[in-house]
């Protein structure tokens, strides 16, 4: 049960940190770190992402942490980094997630320089399956990029990092700018109003980048990048014939269609069949793939660390306060708590995948249909960015818009999501500055 120095663990009680043995640190972000943990009873390994409440409150990220916690409760899919437990103690909020030891696609892209077309196609098929599932759950991810795609030890791809994900509204389009600029769809960055179709555009940018080791849209400033996304024609590199078939090129161009209605994966009535029947996907056995029975063409080298090993050194040198098991104060007085602490206390609720049924926090009073674009004549309300600064590849978000499980009064005061946590947790980032609340703050993971 426990070790010789601690009380026996009560596995019949509500899940807490005492249920886990803490192993190596594998990443850190602005609010906390990511550790490999082992459930003492089942002996199963997980990734533990823990978020320092004080830092979270200081960065005005409370609403986003709660929103991510709620969204993750709704999700369970073979190609997503799923949440298995959630709980808190007096200092931290904890997410216990599927463990992905294969590294993120940014890591492999930088290390390999060239990724064969058949590998990219396989990952794209798995990611398409995950996106279709999310959109059926009425969730837009809004931050598809190589950093947010993790491999397991076998080489299967998984979507992670739901810190800017939202429920989409059936009744009106979203206008808030959220995500990572280089991967944003024209309708997002141009504030034209958008729905779930923006994720398919982002996937197109990811596929292009994985194949050609550069992104299709570029700009040394935010304005130039915005112009490129809205206006520039897509140019393949001169070496395209060596790296990508005609079918692959056509697949990318169909995802990078500026008209969301005709974009691949977005045709009315077709959905994922649009992707599955595309000639580039002819070699994919979808039933085998979705049962996770296909052999991935790329298997990460598990003899090497597939992440930045300096995080362990930090822990060893005690650069920051190490994570320890600590008993909670009994019966905290909610009335005397700061409003943000009280909000975390009440809304970051305990979750146990093996006991709780998954539930949706989305209002059930609207029919479930595909998101429909407004007529061009109708127009849509545009909320001006509160930051006025867009950073090319960091994750950002401005005011929460329709369909969010938060009420608007809560949401509009929390401009930024929690800064990126590292790859294994499902929170990788390039380490660029992150826009929030009109300030610039380093979201570096190193």
Write the DSSP string, 163-183.
Answer: SS-EEPPSSS-B---EEEGGG
Strands 166-167 and 45-52: unpaired
Write the DSSP string, 276-289.
Answer: HTSGGGTT--HHHH
Contact 149, 105 (CB under 8 A): yes
Helix (H) or strand (E) holding 310: helix 310-316
Name the E strands within 318-445: 351-352, 395-397, 433-436, 439-442
Helix (H) or strand (E) holding 159: strand 157-159
Contact 399, 283 (CB under 8 A): no
Does the annotation mark 76 as catalytic? no
Mutual orientation of helices 198-212 and 246-255 as an angle, nearest 10°?
A: 140
Q: Which residues contact 411 (CB under 8 A, 6 or more apart)?
A: 63, 399, 400, 404
In 3-state terms, what secondary structure has residue 311? helix
Cα separation, 55 vs 126, in Å, equals 35
CA distance readout (Å), 267 to 14, 194, 262? 46, 15, 6
DSSP annotation of 344 reads: H
What b-and-e string marks burial along 150-180, b requiring 16 or more CB atoms within 10 Å of the CB? bbbeebbbbbbbbbbbbbbbbebbbbbbbbb
Determine which one of 16, 104, 143, 257 is catalytic: 143
Contact 251, 278 (CB under 8 A): yes
Cα separation, 258 vs 230, in Å, equals 8
Cα separation, 86 vs 300, in Å, equals 29
Contact 328, 20 (CB under 8 A): no
Catalytic residues: 143
């Amino acid at each position: 049960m426990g070790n010789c120095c601690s009380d026996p663990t009560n596995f019949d009680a509500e899940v807490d940190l005492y249920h886990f043995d803490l192993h190596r640190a594998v990443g850190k972000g602005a609010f906390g770190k990511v550790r490999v943990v082992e459930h003492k009873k089942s002996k199963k390994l997980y990734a533990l992402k823990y978020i320092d409440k004080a830092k979270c409150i200081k960065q005005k990220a409370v609403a986003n942490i709660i929103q991510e916690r709620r969204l993750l409760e709704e999700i369970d899919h073979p190609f997503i980094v799923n949440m298995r437990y959630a709980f808190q103690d007096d200092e931290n909020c904890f997410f216990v997630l599927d463990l992905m030891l294969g590294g993120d696609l940014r890591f492999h892209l930088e290390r390999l320089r060239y990724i064969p077309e058949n590998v990219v196609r396989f990952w794209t098929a798995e990611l398409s399956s995950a996106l279709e599932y999310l959109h059926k759950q009425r969730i837009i991810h809004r931050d598809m990029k190589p950093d947010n795609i993790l491999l397991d030890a076998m080489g299967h791809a998984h979507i992670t990092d739901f810190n800017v994900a939202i429920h989409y509204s059936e009744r009106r389009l979203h206008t808030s700018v959220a995500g990572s600029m280089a991967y944003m769809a024209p309708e997002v960055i141009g504030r034209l109003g958008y729905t779930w179709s923006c994720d398919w555009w982002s996937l197109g940018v990811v596929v292009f980048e994985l194949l050609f080791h550069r992104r299709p849209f570029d700009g040394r400033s935010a304005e130039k990048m915005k112009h490129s996304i809205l206006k520039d024609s897509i140019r393949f590199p001169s070496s395209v014939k060596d790296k990508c078939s005609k079918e692959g090129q056509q697949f990318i161009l169909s995802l990078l269609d500026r008209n969301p209605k005709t974009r691949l994966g977005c045709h009315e009535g077709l959905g994922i069949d649009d992707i599955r029947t595309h000639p580039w996907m002819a070699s994919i056995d979808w039933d085998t793939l979705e049962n996770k029975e296909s052999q991935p063409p790329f298997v990460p080298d598990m003899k090497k660390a597939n992440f930045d090993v300096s995080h362990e050194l930090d822990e060893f040198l005690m650069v920051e306060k190490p994570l320890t098991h600590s008993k909670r104060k009994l019966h905290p007085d909610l009335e005397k708590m700061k409003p943000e602490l009280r909000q975390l206390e009440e809304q970051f609720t305990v979750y146990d995948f093996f006991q709780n049924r998954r539930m949706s926090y989305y209002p059930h009073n609207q029919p479930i249909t595909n998101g429909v674009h407004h007529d061009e004549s109708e127009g849509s309300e545009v909320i001006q960015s509160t930051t006025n600064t867009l950073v090319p590849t960091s994750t950002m978000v401005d005011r929460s818009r329709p369909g969010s499980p938060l009420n608007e009064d809560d949401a509009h005061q929390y401009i930024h999501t929690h800064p990126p946590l590292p790859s294994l947790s499902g929170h990788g980032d390039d380490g660029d500055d992150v826009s929030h609340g009109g300030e610039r703050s380093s979201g570096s993971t190193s």
